[in-house]
Amino acid sequence: RLNIKYSKTPRKLPTVLTKDEIKSLLSKIQNKKHLLMISLMYSAGLRVSELVNLRLKDFEFKNNFGYVRQGKGSKDRVFILSTKLKGEIIKYSEDNKLGNEDYIVKGYKNKHYSQRSVQEIVKRAAKKAKINKHVHCHTLRHSFATHLVEDGYDIATIQSLLGHSSSETTMIYIHMASPRLINVKSPLDSFD
């Protein structure tokens, strides 16, 4: 009996937005709370489930990071906190008198915000920004990872920020990065 191992079926490359498309999408969100949520999701590479479950106590403001508690696969991980957003999150939490145990974005009756609502905000903003790609919440996470690759960060760093157990999962973002931004030149260009 032959034991033939087949290679994995090729995965479709995820949809990724350029930095300009991200800027455009964010510029179309008028509601301050919504803008803060979507900006945080992109800037930290959070899954929508992770965003809505964040509590004030999960942030280490002095050190510019936070914790995702019990993310996918019931794992905790660290996420980076954008210095641009830090002040806004602190102000938002003070303005809304959030306690340590409170969700950063509260929904109805102080429960966490609904994932469905976050998905709608992203869809509407993408439509208003006239982005002709299939955009959903996870697109922001794919874009975050791809932009880190383009900015020169290594796969191990990106893998830990995304909470991937396998570097293979993270490698897909290398394929997504724009060759121009990662300074790859064709070997043909080195010919005289």
162-177: pLDDT as tens digits: 988 888 888 888 877 7
Distance CA 154, CA 43 (A): 17
78-102: pLDDT as tens digits: 999 999 999 999 999 999 999 999 9
Model pLDDT, residue 191: 81
Annotation says 34 is catalytic: no
* Residue 76 confidence class, pLDDT cut points 50, 70, 90: confident
Considering the candidates 77, 112, 147, 164, report the single residue annotated as catalytic.
164
Annotation says 112 is catalytic: no
Considering the candidates 42, 92, 103, 173, report the single residue annotated as catalytic.
173
Considering the candidates 19, 28, 55, 72, report the single residue annotated as catalytic.
72
Model pLDDT, residue 121: 97
Q: Is the pLDDT confidence value at 10 over 70?
A: no
Considering the candidates 77, 141, 142, 147, report the single residue annotated as catalytic.
141
Considering the candidates 55, 124, 138, 153, report the single residue annotated as catalytic.
138
Give the number of other CB atoms < 10 A from CB of residue 152: 10
Considering the candidates 34, 47, 77, 147, report the single residue annotated as catalytic.
47
Q: What is the gyration radius of the CA atoms in the chain, in angstroms?
A: 19
Annotation says 72 is catalytic: yes
* Residue 57 confidence class, pLDDT cut points 50, 70, 90: very high
Annotation says 173 is catalytic: yes
Which own/partner contact pairs does 32-39 have at CB distance under 8 Å and 24+ positions apart?
A: 32/92, 33/92, 33/105, 34/121, 36/85, 36/88, 36/89, 36/92, 36/105, 37/105, 37/113, 37/118, 37/121, 38/118, 38/121, 38/122, 38/125, 38/140, 39/82, 39/85, 39/88
Report whether 50 contacts 68 (CB < 8 A).
yes
Alpha carbon of 160 to those of 55, 85, 95: distances in Å? Answer: 21, 21, 33
Annotation says 138 is catalytic: yes
19-42: pLDDT as tens digits: 999 999 999 999 999 999 999 999
Model pLDDT, residue 69: 87
Residue with more model confidence, 74 or 169: 169
Annotation says 147 is catalytic: no
DSSP string, 122-166: HHHHHHHTT--S---HHHHHHHHHHHHHHTT--HHHHHHHHT-S-
Report whether 162 contacts 170 (CB < 8 A).
yes
* Residue 181 confidence class, pLDDT cut points 50, 70, 90: low
Q: And the tokens for 143?
A: 């874009």
